[in-house]
Structure 1
Amino acid sequence: MNEPLPEFLPGSLISARGREWIVLPESDATTLHLRPLGGGEHDEILIFLPLERQPVQPATFPWPTVSQARNHSASQLLLDALQLKLRSGAGPFRSFGNIAVEPRAYQLLPLLMALKLPTVRLLIADDVGIGKTIEGALIARELLDRGEVMRLAVLCPPHLCEQWQRELAERFHIHAVVVRSNTADRLERDLPPGTSVFDAHPFTVVSLDYIKSERRREAFQRFCPEFVIVDEAHTCTQGGQGRQQRYQLLKGLAEDANRHMVLLTATPHSGDEEAFFNLLGLLRTDFTQLKDLPSTQRSDLREELSRYFVQRRRPDIAEWQDTSLFPDRKTAEVTYHLTGAWGQLFNDVLVYARELVERAEGQGLREQRMNWWAALALLRCISSSPAAAVNSLRTRLHGVQSDEGESEALSLEDLELRASDRVLDGADDALSTDDIEPGAQTEDSQRLQELIAAAGALAGSQNDPKLAKLQEHLTLLLKEGFQPVVFCRYIATAHYLAAYLRDQFKSATVEAVTGELTPGEREAAVEQLGESEPRILVATDCLSEGVNLQNLFTAVVHYDLSWNPTRHEQREGRVDRFGQKAREVRSTMLYGEDNPVDGAVLQVILRKAESIRKELGVLVPMPDDEGKLTQALLNAVLLRKGEAINAQSQLDLFGEPAKQIELAWQSAKEKAKQNRSIFAQRRLKPEDVLPEWRKSAAVLGGEADVERFVSRAAAKLGAPLESVRGHFKLLTEHLPQPIRERLSAEGIEGTLRIDFQQPAAQGALFIHRTHPLVVVLADILLERALDATNGGASDDSAVARAGAAFVGNVQLKTTVLLLRMRHQLSVTHGSQTRLILCEESVAVASAGAASFELLTGDQARELLGAEATRNMPPALRDRQLQTALDALTAWQPQLEAIAKTRAQELLQDHRRVREAADAKGAYQVTASLPVDVMGVYVLVPTAVAQGEGA
């Protein structure tokens, strides 16, 4: 008769295959998931009990011995190694041990809001650059580590897919595959029939444009993961066909009441009431009623919405004492005059554009609209650069090339769509990223050829006052140490600028990035620029949305004014955002003082938007009625004759369109005021969040702890860090061979430039608690500490499991015990129970004959980090240590009582941050006993040293 298999609970210690292991929660009666006692996640194994040759036995953790005593300075290193190895920490947040970013306190607010909802439905509408990606991914990581979700999908615009994939991998250790048209076939090729890529790959980043079609949408809804993040969610509201398809996709996903959804957008309300309330309806269907309810009946529903909607601007972060994370943005305006040959050409083009419009009067609607768009394209391109003007004049507007090379006429609808996308800048929820010059050629004439020749002859600063002014301004920025990004509207302008600037700034690296490149190629080009200094990036608006440039650039120059103020904010937000190390960033608008197009846009659109933002503290979207108001304004500029219009002109010079836009701005401002009051939240305050943040930081350690550990460990192992301009250099070739081999397996070799603060110095690796360098050092040192046969008392490369020293910071002989505790946390919701293993390293101390008390991290480091005041003779040291080791058995009840108290505190932490009013479950925490005694240290007052004598 077979013997029944023993039951080993998660957190218990066992002996198998000649070493000791910790049992992990995934284990069952026949299969054990194990982690070595001194190892990390990469050492985990799976064993099947019925097939084991030798029976698996319970084990106890070996106590320190006198032979493991080391120099007192090595004691704190063990404390740090244990703390930084923790992945399933016992703090209030489960995820903090698995992330490579130290969240700021204000970024925890959405996480706490999410954990108080039974099913997470959040709209995070924080300002550009505050860190919505971190906030959304942190919620996903937390639910994954709590075992509440197993799969994740991020839906985002196609140009952001690689960025999301990289952010998830590098910061959150979530390795996702990108799903879009050019990867889906490859991912599906090797799957069994009937298997979805979303089943085969638990973590995916999905292009919204790929997945929105009806066929793919239905399949995705069947296999969609239980947690979905939607980036740029404002593009998924009802409207045009593409937006309508995206909205239907999200609406279908939201119908599953158990699906967690986090929506991210910096512009939730883009001037379209219907779209905004549809977005809120994805959180909870009844929130759409807020649009039509009288204000007297809104209070309860509005109060409910405050649990699902968070929106903060830069000033709102001030109360979190985190304003130092954002630089000061200094703005300036630089002007030029339309002089010389370019001034003459501009006037000739303006006259020609007017003639085109006037000539089409009385003709068919298509001819009228075609000539009007051609005229507007000419004005936009000649205001941008001579190169853009040449391309526009050479490109026919009325047709497109077919596959056979023949010209095919565009329908009026297609003409309007294409011309609008290339000439205008789009609405806030669908800003144009088409940077190809719009066609303006509607005829073949001698006049047209003369304009093309004149524009082509203007290249260079002698004939181009706008270019000359840019060169002057960039010279000043570079002299003051800034790294600039120059934004322009069209591809031709970007290449024109880059070619000229390369010739003028020989010591700088200049690169142009445009929509000609794929998103991956754009990122690679920007990254390559980071290897040079000084550097200048010239970019079209293909880089103005969602791309992070704060690590490499500190100034933005608007070479071409955008006709939508939100685009300006997005451009500046690429540089002025969370993670920018510079204390000051610059933003400059360049415009023609006597350019009538710049004058209208500046006076009627941009300056009005800025004045409203200063008044309300928020950017109000351009109230443009699908571009009609902007078109009317530019029409007034186009057809106005006589008095010149410049940037300082009064509004009445722009006629009725300017008055209509002014009325629309006033209406938008009043709506924004009203919405701010409607959605003003009774929200969590810093005092509600900061204690949780500090608890987790205390359990797991932060940037300062990582720096101290790596610095001391590297020095002890023979490769001390070298300070280099605010960061450090580590020569890995000086490390012991076993460590070099492990680092090499992680792709870490040679000389490393490292930084312990975010963002890392240019060219340096950010070393966080989960970085392979920290993991390898902590694993090696802990293995050596636990190996009783390793080295001897003179082995200074090992950390100290035991020690005794004379110190000056205690009045009584004090015994410090370094403990590792494990707790089993079981959470039951309905019929489902999850078991989670929590670990923590703590220090306790007893002074004289007093009971042991728990030490804070600072108290433990103060005691263990104290310098020895004099040498303690080996015989005396051994005697002091042996007395403490002999007392360990008698101290066990005290240590077990501390472990049980810690278990109850963990339970309260878990309940406090996760429990929702209607989602209460059954919770239980059990301490795994006995606790592991990792280190024993005896601290003797210096005053006793004389009496103890040699």
Structure 2
Amino acid sequence: MNFPLGSVVQYRGRPWVVQDREGEALRLRPLGGGEDHALLVHPLVAQKIPWERLEPGRFPPPRPEGITSPFLYRLFEEAATLLLRESVAPLRSISKVSVRPRPYQLVPLLMALRLQPVRLLIADDVGVGKTIEAGLVVRELLDSKEARRVAVLVPPHLMEQWVYELREKFALEAVPISPATLARLERDLPPGQNVYTHYPVQVISIDFVKHPRHRPLFLESRPDVVVVDEAHGAVGGPRQENQMRYTLVRELAEDPNRHLLLLTATPHSGIPDAFQRLLGLLHPEFQGWSLEDLTEERRARLARHFVQRTRRDVLENWEGGRLFPERIAREVTYLLSPEYRTLYDTTYSYARKLVRTGEGLGETQRRFRWWAALALLRAVMSSPRAAQAALARRQARVGEDLQDTPLEAFAPQVFEAGDLPADDEVPTPLLTLAGEEAEMELKEEPLRALRRLAQALTPEKDSKLQGVIAQVRKLLEEGHEPVVWCHYVDTAEYVAEELRKALPGVAVAAVTGRMDGELRREAIAELMTKSPRVLVATDCVSEGINLQAGFSAAIHYDLPWNPNRLEQREGRVDRYGQPKPQVVVVRYYGGDNPMDRAVLEVLLRKAEEIRNALGIHVPVPREEAYVVDRMVRRLFYSSGAQPLLLPEAEEVEREWQMDVERERKTRTRFAQWALKPAEAMAALKDSDAVLGTPERVERFVLEALERLGLRPEAEGNGVYRIPLGEWLRDLEARGLGSLAELLVRAFPRVALPLGQTLGRRQEERTLRLAFQDPVPEGALYVGRNHPLVVGLARYAFERALRREEDFGRYTALRTSGVDRVVYLYLLRPRYLLRLSRGQAGGEVLGEEVLSVAYRGGELLPPEETQAFLRLSPEDNVPKEEAQVHLERALRFFSEGQEGIMEVLKSRARKLQEDHRRVRQAAQMTGRVEVVPADLPDLLGVRILVPKRG
């Protein structure tokens, strides 16, 4: 027996809908359940087992004894809408994501719907929401069957962040593929599969899969969609690692049918021709185009694939009100104490001698000494503890032979290269080798003296530490929760310990590279449950964890030596979703510390001038050459002759200025003026009409909670306060423990350790919820796919199906708004969406919840139906009378199937027009067709009876 997509079958004693096909197997979803209850059934196997047999089925009609009040019936109606996951609206992805995208964040998705294949360079500013924009495109391609497998290529330090974002925001369970996870994943593989073919959504370390040992197998797996994050680091450069990344991504782009999303906030990375190579990944022809003299036709072609917007663009052209916080920058100085000054001067003398005695050496040896001198100074000026660690480890020789180690391998120990992960350990091997290589006359005795000076520098004598304690205290008094950024683990742990002593009652946590990614995330999540709080972190956090929900200030305890890193740090709190109207960033430095002054003058202030002029960050080209040259020249040759240390450094500065001008032009040209806000708003409105608006979600949650005995308190500004603990215990006592457990999982921050019983797990804790995004400070966002909404919707829907707790599937009310009896049928129609573009696409199932009015033997137009839905009850209808009306309503529905199908066909034509409008039929290749799949489910009936007299 054939069961087409969208048909209803009877299986295991209940009705199911055929949701999809996977080979010969049918994917069934229970008509009264969600995606988590879906299963695969092979028809041939089912037919051979009597109790597993598949039969044609239908959704059962309401029963006469299932009458309910108008209030509970409305909860049932809303629950049915909020449980929809296979949306028939043009943007199918919206039904499965847990974020409420802003109209400007829909632009890449709307661009993608007009391309085949999808080739996009998304270069929006830091903190605008590129992950959300890319996630929507990926979700849409999967939900429309234009893709089956997705590979997200990221730097290793961003893997966990992407896995988390895909799971929490887009309901996509991605597996991380890296050297650390490969063996475990391979153990779970079925025969004949590999990790790239078996898992549908993968987050892959680009530095793992680029290797010649792994690249061929990955390329053979032919993923349908490839997302490349930090794409500027994958288009070549002087390091072999960059060239291997580019080889991998270029080979992926050569498949003309593959969807490719390139994400970067800095497309002009400063590497010559890198931007052209990025464009060439979109289309080979683009690589030869010069942006300086694009024709209008070429500019229009490129604009279909390239979007680049600053925050200023978004605010001025897309959004009213406040989306991003105002960044308040402060510069705060401290003066070195006499003890710290002695330590610095002594260290400086040693480092200067190391540099000056190497002037006659070859370039590699000279540069090695520069790096070592800078690294030693940096560790000493970070903190006494980092100084002790550097000097102690310097005295203990490194056992392994590092003499043949390439110079670039030590790069992360000196400065923060934009394309390398952060290294927050004191640079042991570099300092050891430099001392041994220099063969300095007094190399051991000066270092022992330095170590004694560092040990004598107690926290009380550490003016840098005492100054930051005062700054943290000030920010806390202003209502901010600060992040204190340190360069080294030793410094972060030292600062955290002293802050705890100085600020009793303040929660302080140190999060560093000595913790794995999951432990870092857990530590931050735990800290965010406490207030007031301070996070002390190294740059491993600046690369992969967004902090805007819990922190609103940043203090640079150690100034970074790369403006790119400064932007990364501040961008953790200064981004979309920050609930505070302002964030404070404190550039903290020694007023009499020559090293800090050098960093400020040659690096950070120039970058800040660019940011203020353009509203964006432009990275430093060829970072190593520029940073090392400028720092060595400023620190060790500030008086007397300054040799030309690195000839390319002057050229780098010119390139930086050229990049600034290029960035200014491209951001003006490719901010996507062709897509208007009204177009994005219309697409979002189409989705809201099917899935429910945030206002409907808010009303449903508040009414459902009230039904369950909890009355949320309105605080104003859209925030509601809910005392969760006692209420959960009450739910358990009423036999609703499963709902209570779901709510505990929905709000893990209010849960105590899971080993305790539910009654003891919840203390008297209060939740603050909001239904609009971005959320006010201290509140949790609750959208239609939040576990709270899903749990309450399932509670109301399932109780109505089972006729429990006074819920039911029909209601009757008297109203003066009608002069004859009106039957409002609550339908759940299913449609087949035939979406095709070239070879891609297929037939997918779409659903909606629809009310249709019947009066006097005829079906009424939609506008009259909406008017009837707004009528309020003015009097009750006796149960016996209501049952008579229900019997008539069911008879009329059965006899009027032909008319119902005509209504659905008309509705399908409207939906088809919406799909075509969004995709701009004149530009798309392929077709869109929407047709009713079968008779709709009759979920319920609202009966309007004329008021007597």
Q: Do the structures match in fold with TM over 0.5?
A: yes
Q: Which of the residues 532, 535, 550 maps onto 1:534?
A: 532
Alignment partner of 2:341: what SS?
helix
Structure 1 window deviating more from structure 2 (207-216 vs 517-526): it is 517-526
For the residues of structure 1 that align with 2:840 and 2:464, how far apart are their CA atoms?
Answer: 68
Question: Aligned pair 1:10/2:5, yes or no?
Answer: yes
Q: Indicate conservation of the 8 Å contact 2:231/2:264, yes or no.
A: yes
Alignment partner of 1:515: what SS?
coil
Residue by residue over 1:283-306, the C-alpha shift from the partner in whole angstroms, topping out at 9 and shown as x without a partner, is 111111114x871x5433332111
Partner in structure 2 of residue 105 of structure 1: 103
Change beyond 3 A, Cα 1:445–1:60: closer
Question: Aligned pair 1:822/2:820, yes or no?
Answer: no
Structure 1 window deviating more from structure 2 (610-619 vs 473-482): it is 610-619
Question: Aligned pair 1:801/2:810, yes or no?
Answer: yes
Alignment partner of 1:247: what SS?
helix
Q: Indicate conservation of the 8 Å contact 1:161/1:206, yes or no.
A: yes
Change beyond 3 A, Cα 1:15–1:627: closer
Partner in structure 1 of residue 683 of structure 2: 692
Q: How far does residue 339 in structure 1 lie from its aligned partner after superposition?
A: 4.2
Q: How far does residue 346 in structure 1 lie from its aligned partner after superposition?
A: 2.7
Question: Aligned pair 1:632/2:629, yes or no?
Answer: yes
Residue by residue over 1:545-570, the C-alpha shift from the partner in whole angstroms, topping out at 9 and shown as x without a partner, is 23211222111111122222221111
Question: Aligned pair 1:374/2:372, yes or no?
Answer: yes
For the residues of structure 1 that align with 2:411 and 2:57, how far apart are their CA atoms?
Answer: 73
For the residues of structure 2 that align with 1:833 and 1:244, how far apart are their CA atoms?
Answer: 34
Q: Which of the residues 558, 564, 567 maps onto 2:565?
A: 567
- The amino acid of 1:909's aligned partner reads D
For the residues of structure 2 that align with 1:234 and 1:422, how far apart are their CA atoms?
Answer: 22
Alignment partner of 2:559: what SS?
coil
Question: Aligned pair 1:205/2:203, yes or no?
Answer: yes
- The amino acid of 1:254's aligned partner reads A
RMSD: 3.6
Partner in structure 1 of residue 472 of structure 2: 474
Q: How far does residue 474 in structure 1 lie from its aligned partner after superposition?
A: 0.5
Give 1:380-529 correspondences, 5 Å limit: 380-396=378-394, 401-403=398-400, 408=401, 410-411=403-404, 414=406, 416-426=407-417, 428-430=418-420, 432-437=422-427, 439-440=430-431, 442=435, 443=440, 444-460=443-459, 462-529=460-527
Q: Indicate conservation of the 8 Å contact 1:435/1:514, yes or no.
A: no
Change beyond 3 A, Cα 1:670–1:128: closer
Q: Indicate conservation of the 8 Å contact 2:153/2:228, yes or no.
A: yes
Change beyond 3 A, Cα 1:763–1:176: farther
Q: Which of the residues 291, 297, 300 maps onto 2:297?
A: 300
For the residues of structure 1 that align with 2:6 and 2:740, how far apart are their CA atoms?
Answer: 29
Change beyond 3 A, Cα 1:908–1:843: same
Question: Aligned pair 1:708/2:699, yes or no?
Answer: yes
Question: Normalised by the size of structure 1, how large is the TM-score?
Answer: 0.87
Alignment partner of 1:500: what SS?
helix
Q: How far does residue 362 in structure 1 lie from its aligned partner after superposition?
A: 4.1
Q: Quote the sequence identity (%).
A: 40
Alignment partner of 1:109: what SS?
helix
Alignment partner of 2:514: what SS?
coil
Q: Which of the residues 910, 919, 922 maps onto 1:905?
A: 910
Structure 1 window deviating more from structure 2 (704-713 vs 767-776): it is 767-776
Change beyond 3 A, Cα 1:739–1:902: farther
For the residues of structure 2 that align with 1:800 and 1:66, how far apart are their CA atoms?
Answer: 9
Q: How far does residue 870 in structure 1 lie from its aligned partner after superposition?
A: 4.2
Q: How far does residue 203 in structure 1 lie from its aligned partner after superposition?
A: 1.9
Partner in structure 2 of residue 163 of structure 1: 161
Question: Aligned pair 1:42/2:41, yes or no?
Answer: no
Q: How far does residue 56 in structure 1 lie from its aligned partner after superposition?
A: 5.8
Structure 1 window deviating more from structure 2 (32-41 vs 523-532): it is 32-41
Q: Indicate conservation of the 8 Å contact 1:130/1:577, yes or no.
A: yes
Change beyond 3 A, Cα 1:887–1:850: closer
Alignment partner of 2:282: what SS?
coil
Q: Indicate conservation of the 8 Å contact 1:743/1:773, yes or no.
A: no
Q: Indicate conservation of the 8 Å contact 1:267/1:429, yes or no.
A: no
Q: Indicate conservation of the 8 Å contact 1:633/1:657, yes or no.
A: no
Q: How far does residue 338 in structure 1 lie from its aligned partner after superposition?
A: 2.9
Question: Aligned pair 1:853/2:861, yes or no?
Answer: yes
Question: Aligned pair 1:936/2:941, yes or no?
Answer: yes
Residue by residue over 1:374-427, the C-alpha shift from the partner in whole angstroms, topping out at 9 and shown as x without a partner, is 332333234322333333344449x97235xxxx3524x73x42554322222x
Q: Which of the residues 730, 736, 745 maps onto 1:734?
A: 730
Q: Indicate conservation of the 8 Å contact 2:507/2:531, yes or no.
A: yes
Change beyond 3 A, Cα 1:889–1:445: closer
Alignment partner of 1:101: what SS?
coil
Q: How far does residue 51 in structure 1 lie from its aligned partner after superposition?
A: 2.7
- The amino acid of 1:417's aligned partner reads E
Partner in structure 2 of residue 615 of structure 1: 613
Partner in structure 2 of residue 647 of structure 1: none
- The amino acid of 1:907's aligned partner reads Q
Change beyond 3 A, Cα 1:933–1:370: closer
Residue by residue over 1:279-331, the C-alpha shift from the partner in whole angstroms, topping out at 9 and shown as x without a partner, is 2211111111114x871x54333321111111111112213226533222222
Structure 1 window deviating more from structure 2 (46-55 vs 273-282): it is 46-55
Question: Normalised by the size of structure 2, how large is the TM-score?
Answer: 0.87
Change beyond 3 A, Cα 1:759–1:616: closer
Number of equivalences: 907
Change beyond 3 A, Cα 1:232–1:527: same
Q: How far does residue 83 in structure 1 lie from its aligned partner after superposition?
A: 0.2
For the residues of structure 1 that align with 2:31 and 2:664, how far apart are their CA atoms?
Answer: 59
- The amino acid of 1:24's aligned partner reads Q
Q: How far does residue 822 in structure 1 lie from its aligned partner after superposition?
A: 1.4
Alignment partner of 2:513: what SS?
coil
Residue by residue over 1:641-676, the C-alpha shift from the partner in whole angstroms, topping out at 9 and shown as x without a partner, is 679xxxxxxx9xx99999877655543433333444
Q: How far does residue 512 in structure 1 lie from its aligned partner after superposition?
A: 1.8
Residue by residue over 1:720-751, the C-alpha shift from the partner in whole angstroms, topping out at 9 and shown as x without a partner, is 65779844244344348675347658985665
Runs (5+) with no aligned partner, structure 1 = 644-650
Q: How far does residue 853 in structure 1 lie from its aligned partner after superposition?
A: 2.5
For the residues of structure 2 that align with 1:32 and 1:364, how far apart are their CA atoms?
Answer: 70
Q: How far does residue 541 in structure 1 lie from its aligned partner after superposition?
A: 1.2
For the residues of structure 2 that align with 1:934 and 1:906, how far apart are their CA atoms?
Answer: 21
Partner in structure 2 of residue 261 of structure 1: 260
- The amino acid of 1:693's aligned partner reads L
For the residues of structure 2 that align with 1:588 and 1:531, how far apart are their CA atoms?
Answer: 24
For the residues of structure 2 that align with 1:816 and 1:565, how far apart are their CA atoms?
Answer: 63
Q: Indicate conservation of the 8 Å contact 1:531/1:763, yes or no.
A: no
Q: Indicate conservation of the 8 Å contact 1:489/1:540, yes or no.
A: yes
Q: How far does residue 372 in structure 1 lie from its aligned partner after superposition?
A: 3.1
Partner in structure 1 of residue 21 of structure 2: 26
Partner in structure 2 of residue 228 of structure 1: 226
- The amino acid of 1:902's aligned partner reads R
Partner in structure 2 of residue 648 of structure 1: none
Question: Aligned pair 1:782/2:797, yes or no?
Answer: yes
- The amino acid of 1:487's aligned partner reads W
Q: Indicate conservation of the 8 Å contact 2:335/2:590, yes or no.
A: yes
Residue by residue over 1:768-790, the C-alpha shift from the partner in whole angstroms, topping out at 9 and shown as x without a partner, is 43345544443443344345xx3
Give 1:60-459 correspondences, 5 Å limit: 60-64=58-62, 66-191=64-189, 194-239=192-237, 240-291=239-290, 295=293, 298-318=295-315, 319-321=317-319, 324-362=322-360, 368-396=366-394, 401-403=398-400, 408=401, 410-411=403-404, 414=406, 416-426=407-417, 428-430=418-420, 432-437=422-427, 439-440=430-431, 442=435, 443=440, 444-459=443-458
For the residues of structure 2 that align with 1:573 and 1:160, how far apart are their CA atoms?
Answer: 15
Q: How far does residue 205 in structure 1 lie from its aligned partner after superposition?
A: 1.4
Structure 1 window deviating more from structure 2 (430-439 vs 518-527): it is 430-439
Q: How far does residue 574 in structure 1 lie from its aligned partner after superposition?
A: 0.8
For the residues of structure 1 that align with 2:269 and 2:366, how far apart are their CA atoms?
Answer: 31
Residue by residue over 1:798-826, the C-alpha shift from the partner in whole angstroms, topping out at 9 and shown as x without a partner, is 1442221336x779876533222111223
- The amino acid of 2:525's aligned partner reads E
